[in-house]
Structure 1
Amino acid sequence: MVLENKLGITENLVLAREEERLSKKKAIKLFTDKLLKNKEVGKFSTLAFIHQYLFEEIYDYAGKVRNVNIAKGDFRFAPVMFLDSSLKHIDEMPQGTFEEIVEKYVEMNITHPFREGNGRATRLWLDHILKNQIQKVIDWNKIDKEDYLLAMQRSPIRDIEIKHVLRVALISEINDREIYMKGLDESYYYEGYIVYNSKDLY
């Protein structure tokens, strides 16, 4: 199934390539023009702005909370009926330390508020929090992609693993564009969402 898109693309591979190209182009502008400078740190409103900016040329629902339930593999993300309360809870979570920031990041990943593009937008959101709260960023070049994906899959049950994976990659070069852009590498996310109905939960 190919996601409905503004580009009229009907092949998944073509859509993935164009999506990556356009979103990375917008991410560079997000960085160079400092468009997040006055955005609230750690708030969903900022994540929604990031998502809309990255994907507005591709999807009508860019920046909008999803209205379908989605799963990846055996894991089901937060049901639509709980999205508003989950996002309000995440907004209120503390973010003064590295541990608290990662816990907030994990919760946002579990919530998965958008139909597509959650990983990329949320990593830029994480970057924004880390820069403003502890003056650090993640050097994604130092992270093994498989270790990261496995740790994120297990993080809803045990977040100590993802904390370790990210902690060893913390650096102080918060204004390095190459490091910033590495977080958008397609290798750090995997597609394959399954859309399901609410009744399937019960």
Structure 2
Amino acid sequence: MTLKNKLGINNSVELACEEEKISKKRALELFENNSLENMEAGKFSSLAEIHRLLFTDIYDFAGQVRDVNLAKGNFRFAPVIYLSAALESIDKMNQSTFDEIIEKYVEMNIAHPFREGNGRSMRIWLDLMLKKELHLVVDWSKIDKEDYLLAMERSPIKDLEIKHLLKAALTSDISNRIIYMKGIDTSYYYEGYAAYKTDEL
């Protein structure tokens, strides 16, 4: 299944390649023009703006809350009917400590507010929180792909694993472009739309 897109691409592999190339270019622009510095850390409005800026050239729904239900494997993300309330609750969560920040990240992953591109947007959003609150970011190059995916998969039940994994990869090198860009490397953190099941509303 290929998502309707502004590029007119009907092949899912071709779309994934173009999506990665364009979103990386937009992410680099975010970093280099300091747009992230003006965003409020930990707020959904900031995550939505990050998503909009990354994907506005590709999807009409960039920055917009999804209107379909999503599932991955046997796990169903927050149903559309409860999504707005969930996002309001996440906005109010504390974020002054590492544990609180990761708990907020896990809850946002459960909400999965966008039709596509949640992982890339949320990793930038997570690093924005860590940077502003703790003056740290995650060095994603130190995290094994499979370990990360499994820890995130299990995090709704128990978040100790993802906390341990991310804490071990923290760095104070918060202005390193290479470290920042590794967080949106989709070939490293696979999140392809083909892995999702949707219930159209």
Question: TM-score, normalization: structure 1?
Answer: 0.96
Partner of 1:47: 47
* In the alignment, structure 1 residue 121 sits paired with structure 2 residue 121: yes
Report the CA distance between 1:188 and its aligned residue. Answer: 1.1
SS of 1:185's equivalent in the other structure is coil
Q: Cα deviations across residues 33-73 of structure 1 (Å, max 9, x unaligned)?
A: 00021211100000000000000000000000000001011
Question: TM-score, normalization: structure 2?
Answer: 0.97
Matches within 5 A, 1:10-49: 10-49=10-49
Moved over 4 A (4+): none
Letter in 1 for 2:153: Q
Matches within 5 A, 1:1-202: 1-186=1-186, 187-191=188-192, 192-196=195-199
**Distance (whole Å) between structure 1 residues aligned to residue 74 and residue 37 of structure 2:** 38
Letter in 2 for 1:194: K
Report the CA distance between 1:190 and its aligned residue. Answer: 2.6
Report the CA distance between 1:197 and its aligned residue. Answer: 5.4
**Distance (whole Å) between structure 2 residues aligned to residue 40 and residue 139 of structure 1:** 22
Q: Once the two structures are aligned, what percentage of the paired residues are identical?
A: 61
**Which consecutive residues of structure 1, in runs of 5 or more, have no partner in the other structure?**
none
Letter in 2 for 1:21: K
Q: Cα deviations across residues 127-166 of structure 1 (Å, max 9, x unaligned)?
A: 1000000000000111011000000000000000000000
Report the CA distance between 1:167 and its aligned residue. Answer: 0.4
**Distance (whole Å) between structure 1 residues aligned to residue 124 and residue 191 of structure 2:** 17
